Amino acid sequence: MKLTKKQQTVRNLLKKHDIKKNEYYDIDTVVDILKKTSKTKFKNFESLDVSIRLGIDSTKSDQMIRSSSSLPHGNGKSIRVAVFADGTDRTDAIESGADKVGMQDLYDEIKSKVIKYDLVIAKTDKMKFISDLGPILGPRGLMPNIKMGTLTSNIKKSVLHAKSGQINYKSEKNGIIHCSIGKIDFPIEKIRDNLEKLLSDLKKLKPVTSKGVFIKKIVLSTTMGPGISVKKESLNF
């Protein structure tokens, strides 16, 4: 298959820096190369994504990983948050920066399948009220969930975490999680901090039935760029 001009440029740059497909490189080198290969017109908006292969058996329900992490520097994306709340919780949600706060009005909006939000948060005592929204919110990964920090006893804390850099992730059938940890124009220090925080959080989630190495492989890539494997030894987690 004939390569596009961009693909050929990326390939030449990887070859110039002796970056090989099945080898691992320290985090500074990886980020430097990805910055150099990011030639899209929307450079400042191109995401820096990570794929992490975990030592889990994805066929076993007790080894599935589903959780969230609050990145110290956020991931550069604006998260639209909707909250089911009333009374003082409603006030806390609004003051914490929620984009939409309501009860029946929010319920009716979602029931009509108008989904304008990236995250839906609810207090545990509101679960009965929104339970039949599961068929709509569930497939989109938006149903409030304790493991994701979106089904909570502290509305204010949950909204603040969501608006300040919380990312959600779930292991897929091959035992890999994918998420965005920043933008390509982030300084290396912020990228490293975010990645190390994510890896540290993941380590704490290792299932007791998972044996051997838990975090097996880390690959960084940009939205339109190549994926490069990172040496775990170059990170502190």
Average pLDDT of the residues of the chain: 87
**Orientation of helix 188-203 relative to helix 27-37, angle to 10°:** 120
Total domains in the fold of the chain: 2
Specify whether 135 is located in the same domain as 159.
yes
Residue range 195-235, pLDDT digits in tens: 999 999 999 999 999 888 999 999 999 877 778 999 999 99
Structure tokens at 56: 């889990």
pLDDT at 53 over 70: yes
pLDDT band at 141 (very low <50, low <70, confident <90, very high): confident
- 141 and 201 inside one domain: no
User: In degrees, to the nearest 5, what angle opens at C-alpha 153 toward C-alphas 147 and 156?
Assistant: 100
Find residue 229's DSSP bridge partners. Answer: 24, 219
What is the span of the domain harbouring residue 155?
Answer: 81-164
Supply φ then ψ for residue 160, to 5 degrees: -60, -45
Domain finish residue from 164, 189, 219:
164
State both tokens at 91. Answer: 């006030």
Give the distance, in angstroms, between the CA of residue 41 and the centroid of all CA atoms in the same chain.
Answer: 24
d(CA 74, CA 163): 9
User: What does the pLDDT look like over 71-119, one tens digit per residue?
Assistant: 999 888 888 999 999 999 999 999 999 999 999 999 999 999 888 898 8
Distance between CA atoms of residues 191 and 236, nearest Å: 13
Q: How far is CA 2 from CA 19, 141, 224, in A?
A: 21, 37, 17
Q: What is the pLDDT of residue 83?
A: 95
Share of the chain above pLDDT 70, in %: 89
Predicted confidence band at 155 (pLDDT cuts at 50, 70, 90)? very high
Same domain membership, residue 115 and residue 150: yes
pLDDT of residue 103: 94
Q: Pick from 83, 56, 76, 78: which is nearest to 67 by CA?
A: 56
Mean pLDDT of all residues in 120-147: 90
Q: What is the CATH number of the domain that holds 223?
A: 3.30.190.20
Tokens of 30: 């990886």
193, 131 in Cβ contact below 8 A? no
- What's the pLDDT at 7? 64
Question: What is the mean predicted confidence (pLDDT) over 19-37?
Answer: 86
Instruction: Report how far residue 27's alpha carbon sits from residue 73's, in angstroms, rounded to the nearest whole number.
Output: 17
Are 126 and 228 members of one domain? Answer: no
pTM of the model: 0.77
The residue out of 138, 164, 190 marking a domain boundary is 164
Across the range 17-23, mean pLDDT stands at: 74
Mean pLDDT across 170-177: 91
Give me the CATH number covering residue 128: 3.40.50.790
